[in-house]
Amino acid sequence: MNQIFYDAVQENPIIAAIKDDEGLEECLKSNIQVIFILYGDICSIPEIVGRIKDSGRIAMVHIDLINGLSGKDISVDFIHKNTRADGIITTRQGLVLRAKELGLYTILRIFVIDSMALSEAGRIKIVQPDFIEILPGIMPKIIKKIRMSTKIPLLAGGLISEKQDVIDALDAGAMAVSSTSKKVWSF
């Protein structure tokens, strides 16, 4: 299952992270293959995902950011049963486990804000998400360190707003970068 995601980011290592309808419209005009949905609610998320899927792209829902959903397994079940999402993004390891049971792609998002958060990243091997997204993604040295300690494919996100940020993250070992910056989408 990971091969479809891998192929998509091989073709274009930029992931559009959308936070509103305007971002959705813009990314659908681009050649980006993977889209992270960072907005919506339980009423609108099926339609948002549907538009992305109808355009032939991979739709990943950041389940923690969807209004009306909780941090419980039932939220993953809702996304699985009521949308055509390919997978979820979350900061909660328990939701990763449930999504894996349902056959969804899983991205565990980690905010590396200090050495304690960095040491926690090494323990993620137990949960085995399909991918880890490191935030902020503008820390090449940290990307390298986590990549070596987990062996799980890494994505870099957060504060990536320039071409050089993308290059630095990819050179450090990130498989792809996610960004809400529309100017990075066309890089």
- What is the tens place of the pLDDT at every residue in 91-104? 999 999 999 999 99
Of 187 and 114, the one with more pLDDT: 114
**Is 1 in contact with 103 (CB distance < 8 Å)?**
yes
Q: Where are the domains of the chain?
A: 2-177
List the single range of 23-27, 92-96, 109-113, 123-127 with lowest mean pLDDT: 123-127
- φ, ψ at 155 (rounded to 5°): -120, 150
Containing H/E element for 48? helix 45-54
Predicted confidence band of residue 122 (pLDDT cuts 50, 70, 90): low
- What is the tens place of the pLDDT at every residue in 52-71? 999 999 999 999 999 999 99
The CA dihedral of 148, 146, 149, 125, to the nearest 10 degrees, is: -130
**Is 94 in contact with 118 (CB distance < 8 Å)?**
no
**Is 55 in contact with 34 (CB distance < 8 Å)?**
no
| CATH class as words, domain 2-177 | alpha beta
DSSP state of 41: B
Residue 144 CA to its chain's centroid (Å): 18
Q: What is the pLDDT of residue 126?
A: 78
Quote the pTM value: 0.95
